[in-house]
Each structure stands twice: as C-alpha cells, then as structure tokens.
Amino acid sequence: MSLARFRTLVSGGLSALLLLFGAAVAQAQTGTITGTVTAAGDVGGALEGARVTVLGTNNATFTNREGVYTLRNVNPGTVQVRVVRLGFDQATQTVTVVAGTQATANFQLTASPFTLDEIVTTATGDTRKAELGNVVNVIQVDDLAKEAPIKNMSELLVSRAPGVTVIQSAGTTGAGTRIRIRGANSVSLSNEPLLVIDGIRAESGAASSTLGTGGQSPSRINDINPDEIASIEIVKGPSAAALYGTAAANGVILITTKRGSAGRPRWNAWTEQGALDDDNDYEINFSPLRAGGSPGQICRLDQVAVGTCTISRVAQFNPFLDEVESPLGTGYRRQYGLSVSGGSEQAQYFLSAEQEWEDGVFDMPEAEEARILAESGRSRLRDVEKTPNRIRKTNLRANVTAQASSKTQVNVSAGFIDSKLDLPENDNNVLGILSSGLNGRGDPSVGPGLWGFFRPGETFNSGNQQRTRRLTLSGQANYTPTSWLTGRAVVGVDYTNRVDRATQFFGEGPNFGTLRQGQISENDRNILQYSVDLGGTATFQLTDDITSKTTGGAQWFRSSFRGTNSFGQFLPPGSQTLGSGSTQFASETTTETITLGFFGEQVFGYKDRLFLTGAIRADRNSAVGENFGVKYYPKAAISYLISDESWFPTGKLLTSLRLRGAWGKSGLQPGTTAALVFFDATTAAVADGSDAAALVLAGLGNPALKPETTREWELGFDANFLDSRVAVEVTTFNKKSSDALINVPVAPSGGFPAARFANLGSVTNEGIEVTLNGQIFTGQTLSWDATVTGSFSRNRLKSLGGVAPINLNGTTQRAVEGLPLGGYFARSIRPFTDTDGDGLVDPSEISIEDTLSFQGNSAPTRELSLATGVNLFSSKIRISSQWDYRQGHLLYNLNEDFRCRSSQNCAGVADINSPLSDQIRAVAVNAGLVGGLATNDGFLEDAEFLKLREVAVTLFAPDSWTRALRTDRLSLTLSGRNLWTDTNYSGLDPELNGQGNGNFAIREFLTQPPPKQYSARLNIGF
C-alpha cells in the first residue's frame, strides 16, 4: 500500500471514529438500578469489586466496600443484570426499569474458586474470560502477597503460568531477569515480551546497564513494586496479542495497579525484615604438589598417568569457607510501606509509599579492612567498599478514579521510582570476586596464590553505581453517551532516567592496567515511551439470543532514546570528578521509533455460550524500510461453553466444559537504524599531519526491510470437575515466525560494513500447556488447595534463507537450520576405555570427533510447578510452598572448564580420587594434551533440577486481638526462599547465567549463585 493511500486510510479512520463518538442522540428519560452484592452461605459478607453489567449494553459498574452498586442511565424496559466477581459464580436477574424511577436488584453469589466469569483486559477493553478464544493467565497479586513477601517482579512471575519461563541470571542483589513466553521467536531481535502498565507501554529492558561489571545487569521490569499491583495478565502469543501490533509477537504482560473504592479510608502498613545467606557449595581449589619439585611446582593427573611426575600431596583451599579470607557475610533486607484507599461514590483514591533497603551477601573481611587502612593511611572505609552490592529504592504511587459526570469516568495513575544500586565486580571479569576466589590455588606457594587475581579488598574498591529515576503517568477517560456506546481514551508516558557511574580513585583498587591512576565513567540514559490509545465500543442485543460488540480504534506509540557517554582517566590524587582527568572522552546517541495503528474487532455472542470474534489491525512503523508500507495483523477466535447446552450431560463429576480456539498474527519491528543508510563520525589524518573531522559509512540499510511476522494458532479447553472443586485448563499452540531478520554478510572488498539485515529466516515454536487447580479439602478447621502448571515446548529454526549457521555465543551456541535456536554444539568425546585400568586418564586414551555436533537445548523443554497451601483453624494459619521442576536442557559449566583448562586447579586435574568422567573432560578441554583438537563437550551438563522455591507460614491475629488493637487486619508472615535444590548439575546452580540477560547466550561463568532468603513481614490494616 502506498503512503498516500495509508494517509487516506488514516483520515477515513479518524473521521469514522469521530462520527462514532458523535453518535450520542437524544434519549428518552432513563432509570436507575441499585442493590447489594453479598456472598452466600458460610462465606457471607459484602463483596467489594464485583462487576455489575446490563447485558447487551456497555453500562457497567463495580460494587463499593459495602457491596453496594448503582447503575445509572438504564433505558426503560425489561433488562438482564449480571454480576461477576473473581472467586464466585456469576448471577443474573431480570429487572424492570421505569423511566425516572429506581429499581432494586440484590444478589447473593456462591463461592466458586474456578470460574470463567472473571474480567480480563484486552486491547479493546475489559472482557469476560469466557468470551475469549485464547488463554490468558491471570496472577492475582493480592492473593499471593497474603501468602509470602514478594520483593520483585521476577519472584512474582516465576513458575506462576505454564509456558512462561523466567530466568533469573544470578543471586546478586539487583540482578535482572530474562522472560520467554512460548519460546524464542526471533534470531536477531529481542525475545522479551511487551510490557503494559495501566494501559500504556512501558520500558522493560532485560539488560539495562552500561557498567562493566560482567554479565549481571538489572532489568527495568524489576523497577515495579509488587505491593502496588492488583493483578497481572499474561497474553501469550499472536493469537491473543494481534491487536497490540508490531511489538507483541513475544506476548504481552499487562499490569493493573491498585485502585480505591468508595468508603472510609482504609490504611495498610507493613514492614519486612529479612536476611540473605549464601551457603552454596563453592568449588575447592586444588594444588597437586610435585614430589621432589621446587616449591610451588605442580604435577597434574595426566602427567602422573604417563609417568612424568608424581604427586607428594594435594593441597586444598576454599576461600569462601575460610573464616579469615571469606568475602561472604549475611545480607540484610528491610522494607517499610504505607498505603491508604477510599473515597466517595464520585471519586476514589489509592495512595502508597514504600522504602526498601537490601544489602547483598558480600562483606569486607576484617583482615582485609585492616590491611587496606594500614596501606592507605585512611581512618575508615567508604560504606560501599564494605558492602559493594546493595540497593536503596523508594516507590510512590497515586491513583485516582473520578466520576466526572453521569456519563464520564476518569482514571489517573502516577507511579514514581527512585533507586540506587551498587553492583560488585563479577562474572567474566578479571576484577571479579568470584573470579579470584574460584581461580586461586590450594597452597600459597603456587602462583598466583590463594586468590587468583586480586584480593577481596581490592575488588571491593571498584565502585559501580546505577541511579534510576522513573515516572509512569497514565490517564484514561471512559465516556458512555448512550447505553450501547462507550468511548475510551488512554494517554500516558513512561520516562526513565538512568545514570551509570563507575569510579576508581587514584592510588586505590586493583593494580590492573591504569586503574590505580584513577578513572571515572558516567553514562546517562533517557528513555521515553509515549502512548495514545483511542477506541469506541458499540454493544447491541440484536435478538433475544444474539449479541454484538463492535470495537474500533487507533493507537499511537513513540519510543525515544537518548544516551550520553563520558569518561575521564588519569585523575589527580583526591579527585572525584570527571573533568579532572587528563584524558577525556564523550559520545552521544539518539534514536526514535513511531508506530501508528488502527484496529477493529467484531464479537458475536449466541445465548451467552458461543462467541465468535474477528479482528484486524493495520500498522505503519517508522523502523521499516522506505519501500514497505502498511502491515496487517488479522485475528479470529471461537469460545463455546458447550456444557451450557441442555443436551450436554453435566453433573458432579463434570461441572462445566468450554472449548476454545484462536488464530492470529503479530509482529516485531526491526532495529531502529536497521533499514537506514547512516554514517558515524570519526577523525582522519590530513596532509599536514593534523586530524580532521570525517564520516564513515556505518550502516548499509535495506529499503525493503519489513517487520518479522509471527502467526499462531492455539486450541484448548477449560473444564471444572467435582462440583467445581477441580479445574483443568489445557492449551496446545503452534507458532511460526516468518521474515525473520538475518544479518547477511557483505563482501569486505567494497569497503562497506560487514553485514546488513534482510528478511530471510523462519522459526517455529509448538507445545502444550496445562494448568490444574484443586480444592483438595475444604472445611472450617482444615482446607487444602493446590495449583499445578506444566508445559512442553519445542523450538526450531526452520530456515536461515541460505545464510551459513550463525554463532550466537562463540561456537558453543549456534543458530543452525532444523535445530533449536541457541542450542549447544561441541566436538563429541568418543567412548572412553581405561586401557591400563589404573583409574587415571592418559591423553592418548581420549579420542574426539573432528566436527561440531548438536549436544542439546539451552532452554528447558519441559517445566512443572506446584504451588500448594493449607489453611488451619478457620484460616487463621496459612502454610504454603512453591516447587519448580525443569528438564530437557543443558548448561555450559564454564566455571569448571576454565579452572581445568587455564587455572588447572579443578578436581579433574589434581585430585586422584576424582571420577574418570571429571578427568576425561579436564584432559579433553586442553588442546595441548589432545593434539590441538580440544572440546568442551564434558562441560555441557544436564541441568535438570527440582527446587523448593519457597515456604511460608502466615499467622492471622484472632478477632479479639484486632478489636483490642483497633485494627481491621493483623498478620505475620515468616518465609524462606531458594531453600533446596536437587540436581545432577555439578556447578553452583543450574539456573545461573554469567552472560546476564542476553538473547541466547547462557553459561555459568564466575556468577554469584542465589542465596537463601529468610524474612518476616508484619501487615496491619486499619
């Protein structure tokens, strides 16, 4: 489509939208319906937050704290009123409305833990879950928060929904998270999901740092405070996310923050105190001392095997367990928060404030502190030197809902975050704490000594700090001029300012390169995400049996990034400023992308049991090539409550059954500059020997570049059994990404950049997801519930469009047609025979394949989790736990690879009692021992694991206590996290990733493992 035609489409769409909003015609006088909604039976009490709707219209409202609702502007006549609330069966009444009068309809809802009637958020507005043809996983954060403290989004999302893989890169305080929903779609682009907070798009960078600390970096999704969140909805694939357009192929995470309700002010205060304990099994450093050799000379096992030397003794040392040397201490966590909500029928509010402090487990050893003070002549160390890993965070939120008129409602949300994060040196980093600890020796006489590179006090002296200030603002206006028409306008901005500062003062820190001569770097990032969403929905009762809901709208999104880098080196003594460096450097980067899209959706309902949906979105994106026009994303879905048919046999065994299916497309935009020809500034020597400003071609561009497109179909069913005590949700999906961006090499002889992107590849993902919820036992004294989620998935790179296999992480992880993206590759070790039977590995006994071959997946293919809880004594005590199992993948143990190959201090090199498998891999990885054809095959280990993620006990105060203290609610939660792991993986932890939150690269390399976390949280409501 030409640009001119697209402009015509835009103009026509806006005109139609304006006509739709202007369709408010003169109405006859209307009436009002009011009433109360309460829980039936033993549950009893008013139900706050129930949604009350006049069927066949857009007229809806929510009950207040007393369970009271009021529906205004109801057309005269006989209408059906439906009430829906999470945890209860829906209820419907027929009400007769007379113009100018008020009718009454009271409801009692029956408790049902598993219902399809909950309201979920879609691109076209709120919708009953029963009407959707695709699965949407809903996480009710309030319910989880009652069971155990949740400190960040990573903990909130992990193992909560099938098909959603959350990989926490490390145990470092402030370390980030990688999220995959139904696998990886793209070879070259990000595979992270889209993040939407209160209707606007938000920054969710998985690796948000320029600090050179190694692989561990923070994620912006962890900025968000779980205590401010009401619910999270996970929209999994293009069949569900089609109307989100050119950004949503990886799925969407929708966050809704808390709102107030009418009634007196309700205050909530909480405090959390906790400890972090690192008792991981760090590897021992070995030194096999040579018999008759000079001091510090070693004799390896392979040398013993061929008779070139003998071992007199094997020295062992573990600096992480030594009382004097260990840099590990006890980390502490503190949190204080206060919120208040309330309001009138015309305006409601929710306000909250929270402060959080967490100190990581690294702690300056006393002997190191004394040594540094004596050498420097200082009287005290800086706090950050004593504790190089910590975070200080403040969260503020203000949400207001106002009924501006009988037809207009306005919601305003504002959230502010101010965080200060100190990160230690770690991962693939010669200055890292673990680098020196794991690559030291068992004897101080063996170079370089007990610590491999630098002592803890030296590495602690390198300061790395990230300061983040983030403001998220959104406003939404809902206008209902008639009972059948509703207009929606959402506008907002998410602004993140991030400053990364690394400091090394003159004369301090590691004696490495020019570090001790002092240097400072400061990199400033400003990220702005602007969102505008306009839409209108018309709802009609076409016949007694058929309803129609038509939605149209437009969305505009702009992402702006501006970054500056500055660096000063060779600082004078005592200086702490950039400008004092004798060598300075600065650079600047600015990028911007804009997306404009129009969408329409039509839903037909038949007898409130069969729902057919068709939709389409048209997008224009600034990052595509100039020869590409508009991209269309269609969608179709069906949902059928077959158990509502009179002929369908239901009973106590099978209570209800819904069949569903969906098909749709979504996309991913190319990189901001991938389609452009652009230049970079440089300097060039001129004839007189001086330098002059110049330009070099930095990008070839591709005018035909277009978005990657992912189509998906999913089929599934939802069923309730045993009087709705057990609910099963099963979904099978199949995704195919086409026009995947591949970096195509360009002949270097032309003097151009080495490669440019083209739409050549395709990737598939398929699998099955299962959720099982069960009320195993219910009673006043004892009740027991459990949720089991599981998934199986398969990822394949179908085509690279004729391009040779791509190395994604050296040759260890590659993109090869017909195999999983990011799969592990190595030269296989042929079957081994200990020919002389001496229990030692002679290098001549090892044979290695001469070509690389696929070894296994880097991402789990099978996942299973269990969350279960027991309520005791009328729910005054709640005991809960969370278990997690993953299987079908490998993890590259580069820790042991490096220790065996370079440091030569691993058990397979030094310990005569080590198994043959450890000796084999230690020999095979050393090229000098196996004829130059080395392999890391032995270090690609099965990473299957079972983890006890969490155990928590919550004690709710008796009613007599709350009355005496004049509180509404009082509870104490004691919890532990990362408590136990069962795995055959020999490294520190099977979930570690020394390359942080990258797209595919994953390996354990000198990465801090997760500590155990213990906490106590006191909640008070009044």
Average pLDDT in the chain: 90
C-beta separation of 627 from 703 below 8 A? yes
* Cα–Cα distance for residue pair 892/985, rounded to 1 Å: 10
pLDDT reported for residue 9: 45
Mean pLDDT of 100-120: 84
pTM of the model: 0.91
Please calculate the CA angle 712-718-724 and round it to the nearest 5 degrees. Answer: 160
Give the model's confidence band at 647: pLDDT under 50 very low, under 70 low, under 90 confident, else very high. very high
- Mean pLDDT across the stretch 266-277? 96
Query: Which conformational region is residue 591 in: left (phi greater than 0), alpha (psi within -120 to 50 degrees), or beta?
Result: beta
Structure tokens at 818: 């017909």
Amino acid at 303: Q
User: Among 586, 526, 463, which Cα is nearest to 212's?
Assistant: 463
Closest to 424 measured CA to CA, from 468, 459, 393, 372: 459
Summarised one tens digit per residue, pLDDT across range 802-828 is: 999 999 998 999 999 999 999 999 999
Q: Which residue has the tokens 């505009």?
A: 556
Block residue for tokens 């048919």: 645
Q: Give the pLDDT confidence score for residue 396 in this predicted structure.
A: 98
**In degrees rounded to 5, what are phi and psi of residue 843?**
-50, -30
pLDDT at 371: 87
- Report how far residue 908's alpha carbon sits from residue 899's, in angstroms, rounded to the nearest whole number: 10
The confidence band for 959, taking pLDDT boundaries of 50, 70 and 90, is confident
Tokens describing residue 213: 């600390």
Given a contact cutoff of 8 angstroms between Cβ atoms, the answer to whether 668 and 247 are in contact is yes
Left, alpha or beta for 393 (phi > 0: left; psi -120 to 50: alpha)?
A: beta
Overall average pLDDT of the 411-430 stretch = 94
988 strand-pairing partners: none
Whose CA is closest to 886, among 152, 157, 139, 165? 165
User: Given its phi and psi angles, is residue 182 left (phi above 0), alpha (psi -120 to 50 degrees) or beta?
Assistant: left
CA distances in angstroms from 625 to 1, 404, 420, 560, 738, listed in the order given = 13, 45, 40, 19, 17
One-letter amino acid of 918: D
Task: Output the pLDDT for position 115.
Answer: 74
Work out the average pLDDT over 566-588: 87
Average pLDDT over residues 599-611: 95
Burial of 976 (0-12, 13-18, 19+ CB in 10 A): buried
Residue (of 68, 18, 67) closest to 47 by Cα position: 67
Point out which residues pair with 102 in neighbouring strands.
32
With beta carbons less than 8 A apart as the criterion, state whether 815 and 803 touch. Answer: no
What per-residue confidence (pLDDT) applies to 584? 85
pLDDT the model gives residue 693:
77
pLDDT tens sequence across 849-907: 999 999 999 999 999 999 999 999 988 999 999 999 999 999 999 999 999 999 999 99
CA distances from 372 to 463, 571, 884 (A): 16, 20, 44
Residue 170 has pLDDT above 70, yes or no: yes
Question: What pLDDT is recorded for position 963?
Answer: 87
Residue 627 corresponds to which tokens in the numbers above? Answer: 């020869």
Token code pair at residue 725 = 């005590």
Q: What percent of the chain has pLDDT over 70?
A: 96
Task: Report how far Cα 489 is from the mean position of its chain's Cα atoms.
Answer: 28
Which of 863, 905, 852, 870 lies closest to 887, judged by CA? 863
pLDDT above 90 coverage of the chain, percent: 65
Give dist(CA 469, CA 497) in Å, integer.
5
* Residue 16 φ/ψ, nearest 5 degrees: -65, -40
Least confident of 99-113, 193-207, 661-675, 931-945: 99-113
Coil vs helix vs strand at 317: strand
- Peptide bond preceding 448 in cis form (omega within 30 of 0): yes
Give the model's confidence band at 327: pLDDT under 50 very low, under 70 low, under 90 confident, else very high.
Answer: very high
Phi-psi group of 919: left, alpha or beta (phi > 0 → left; psi -120 to 50 → alpha; rest → beta)? alpha
Distance CA 926, CA 846 (A): 12
> What's the one-letter identity of residue 729?
E
Does residue 272 sit in helix, strand or coil? Answer: strand
558-578 per-residue burial string, b: 16 or more CB within 10 A, e: under 16: bbebebebbbbbebeeebeeb
User: Six-digit token pair at 808?
Assistant: 């994604």
3 state DSSP class of 306? helix
Q: What is the pLDDT of residues 428-449, one digit of tens each?
A: 889 999 999 999 999 999 989 9
Cα distance between residue 293 and residue 310, in whole Å:
10
